[in-house]
């Protein structure tokens, strides 16, 4: 990855090679690694062994476009993937679409990483703004950067 800062407006989300339309913000919480306490009784301080890592959560939200005639928006597919518990391996979270910089499930792991939609259709409506939708997904494994060697 180059050393310059990135402008957020260049971000996009693609799943199965289709852009999820209307998205105005996305975030990834990152991976965590569990520390397992292995302290014996009588020891005055805790010691730990390093446990497995766990993928984080992806959240994204934007304009509700479910009733749009443009099928490229992908919001209907989000609902289908949630209903079916689909393990999505072709997910790209672009932080610079113009430079092809993105995060994606790590296919080099065994088993390969994937993403599952865990919360769908969190709709918000207020008098002064757009009707919005929020979606949450869980990463099994990890996301890797497209610039990793």
Give pLDDT tens digits for 8-42. 778 888 888 878 878 889 999 999 999 999 999 99
Domain count, the chain: 1
SS3 assignment, position 97? helix
- Asked whether residue 102 is domain-assigned, the answer is yes
SS3 assignment, position 43? coil
What is the CB neighbour count within 10 angstroms for residue 137?
27
- Asked whether residue 1 is domain-assigned, the answer is no
Give pLDDT tens digits for 87-110. 999 999 998 887 789 999 999 999
**CATH code where residue 74 lies:** 2.30.110
144 φ, ψ (degrees, to nearest 5): -115, 155
- Asked whether residue 45 is domain-assigned, the answer is no
pTM score, two decimals?
Answer: 0.81
Domain ranges, residue 91: 8-32+50-145
- Asked whether residue 70 is domain-assigned, the answer is yes
52-87 as b/e: b if 16+ CB within 10 A: eeebbebbbbbbbbeeeeeeebbbebbeebbeeebe
- Asked whether residue 23 is domain-assigned, the answer is yes
- Asked whether residue 130 is domain-assigned, the answer is yes
Radius of gyration of the chain from Cα atoms? 19
């Amino acid at each position: 990855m180059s050393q310059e800062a990135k402008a957020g407006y260049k971000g996009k989300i693609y799943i199965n090679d289709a852009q999820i339309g209307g998205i105005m913000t996305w975030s990834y919480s990152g991976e965590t690694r569990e520390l397992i306490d292995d302290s014996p009784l009588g020891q005055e301080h805790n010691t730990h062994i390093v446990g497995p890592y766990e993928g984080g959560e992806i959240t994204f939200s934007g304009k509700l476009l479910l009733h749009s005639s443009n099928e490229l928006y992908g919001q209907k597919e989000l609902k289908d993937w949630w209903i079916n518990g689909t393990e999505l391996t072709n997910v790209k979270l672009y932080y610079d679409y113009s430079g092809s910089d993105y995060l994606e499930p790590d296919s080099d792991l065994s088993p390969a990483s994937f993403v599952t939609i865990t919360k769908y259709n969190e709709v918000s409506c207020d008098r002064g703004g757009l009707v919005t939708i929020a979606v949450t997904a869980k990463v099994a494994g990890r996301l890797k950067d497209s610039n990793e060697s």
